[in-house]
């Protein structure tokens, strides 16, 4: 667990005062005691995934195998679903700055925009273009400048939609069949992407769309997801070799930590970073799945938390700062909330 290069140790701390009402059990007694709650999604075997928190605190998600956009009210514990166009096979949902919900149509090459009352506002088809073999929007991230980045795993490209104008750009990857997967944007609006089959981290410049590749330190690395902390470090998980790592864009240096031996094989998949810059990892090899956090200052992993539902696989997760919670969906047909500290006690009212 020793870093291969010196990790930056400055930290950013943010006090958060409000939270969601979840379940009837009492909240954790201390910031070191996270609390997990899961709800069964009432649409069987639909693979609910990629939840995103709306401005009204409702949780939007997609049913990948049942072709719907779902919404969960954590106060009433009620679910609703909106049928998507035939063949959408949704992969991700993401709430935009204006409260609209965007859906990645992985099956039919579309980006769908819904209002917060569930009405379809816009359908955008990814056009055929040079270097784009498949149009399969996968993971979404807003750039902070009115645009939307998205990966296309089998298309081996990253797209960018300027929402107001409708202008859509496609950036093919330099590495053939590299399967661009997880995606985030940095504080300048640049896209950072992990290449699952390429073992690389890619930066695409906001505005100029210039692409830079950075090869991970180990051969045959298979990075799944990516996240950014308050210092601008780009974190990733290696699904194949059970590593957590980060890349410092200022020095172009990598640091990596092997997951604890007792948790291996781990197959880390979904990840998120909380307001204290702790990194949270969902381990999909153990059945039931487990969750670990990593404290960079101490260079230590936490004890594992077991998913009550079993998980099956948790493929993506979103940290919501106002509730100090990580939201996730599971292959066991549940929607989950991990309150990462007792700061999440209280009501969302």
**Model confidence pLDDT, tens digit, residues 259-313:** 999 999 999 999 999 999 999 999 999 999 999 999 999 999 999 999 999 999 9
Residues contacting 98, CB < 8 A, separation 6+: none
Mean pLDDT of the residues in the chain: 90
> DSSP secondary-structure letter at 343?
G
Quick one: three-class SS letters along 217-283?
CCCCCCEEEEEECCCCCEEEEECCCCEEEEEECCCCEEEEEECCHHHCCCCEEEEEECCCCCEEEEE
Percent of the chain with pLDDT strictly greater than 70: 89
Q: Has residue 19 got a pLDDT over 80? A: no
Q: Has residue 4 got a pLDDT over 50? A: no
Q: State the residue for tokens 């298979």.
A: 222
Q: Within 10 Å of residue 347's Cβ, how many Cβ atoms? A: 9
pLDDT value for 20: 34
Domains and CATH numbers, the chain: 9-41+221-349 (2.120.10.30)
End-to-end CA gap in the chain? 42
- DSSP E strands, 84-217: 90-95, 101-105, 110-114, 120-125, 137-142, 147-152, 157-162, 168-172, 180-185, 191-195, 200-204, 211-215
Q: State the residue for tokens 């819904």.
A: 114
pLDDT confidence tier of residue 32, bands split at 50, 70 and 90 = low
Q: Has residue 160 got a pLDDT over 90? A: yes
Q: Evaluate if pTM is beyond 0.85.
A: yes
pLDDT confidence tier of residue 5, bands split at 50, 70 and 90 = very low
Rounded mean pLDDT, 52-72: 97
pLDDT value for 23: 36
| CA dist., res. 143 & res. 83, Å (int) | 28
The SS3 call for residue 321 is: helix
145: which 2 tokens? 């400048």
Asked which of 3-17, 54-68, 121-135 is least confident by mean pLDDT, the reply is 3-17
| CA dist., res. 158 & res. 181, Å (int) | 9
Rounded mean pLDDT, 181-191: 98
């Amino acid at each position: 667990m020793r870093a291969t290069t010196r990790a930056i140790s400055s930290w950013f701390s943010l006090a958060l005062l409000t939270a969601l009402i979840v379940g009837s059990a009492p909240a954790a007694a201390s910031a070191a005691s996270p609390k997990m709650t899961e709800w069964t999604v009432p649409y069987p075997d639909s693979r609910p995934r990629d939840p995103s928190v709306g401005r009204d605190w409702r949780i939007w998600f997609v049913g990948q195998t049942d072709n719907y956009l779902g919404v969960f009210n954590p106060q009433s514990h009620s679910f609703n679903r909106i049928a998507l166009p035939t063949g959408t096979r949704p992969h991700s949902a993401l709430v935009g700055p204006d409260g609209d919900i965007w859906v990645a149509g992985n099956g039919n090459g579309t980006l769908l925009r819904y209002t917060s009352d569930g009405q379809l506002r816009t359908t955008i088809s990814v056009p055929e273009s040079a270097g784009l073999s498949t149009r399969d929007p996968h993971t979404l991230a807003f750039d902070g400048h009115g645009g939307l980045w998205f990966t296309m795993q089998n298309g081996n490209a990253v797209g960018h939609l300027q929402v107001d104008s409708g202008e859509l750009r496609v950036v093919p990857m330099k590495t053939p069949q590299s399967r661009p997967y997880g995606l985030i944007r940095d504080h300048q609006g640049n896209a950072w992407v992990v290449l699952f089959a390429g073992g690389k981290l890619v930066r695409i410049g906001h505005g100029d769309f210039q692409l830079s590749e950075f090869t991970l330190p180990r051969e045959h690395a298979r990075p799944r997801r990516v996240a950014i902390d308050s210092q601008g470090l780009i974190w990733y998980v290696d699904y194949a070799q059970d590593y957590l790592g980060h890349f410092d864009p200022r020095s172009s240096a990598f640091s990596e930590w092997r997951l604890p031996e007792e948790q291996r094989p781990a197959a880390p998949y979904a990840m998120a970073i909380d307001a204290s810059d702790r990194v949270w990892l969902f381990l999909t090899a153990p059945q039931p799945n487990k969750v670990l956090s990593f404290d960079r200052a101490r260079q230590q992993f936490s004890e594992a938390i077991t998913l009550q539902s079993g998980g099956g696989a948790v493929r993506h997760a979103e940290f919501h700062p106002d509730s100090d919670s990580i939201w996730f969906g599971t292959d066991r047909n549940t929607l989950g909330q991990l309150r990462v500290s007792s700061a999440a006690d209280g009501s969302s009212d």
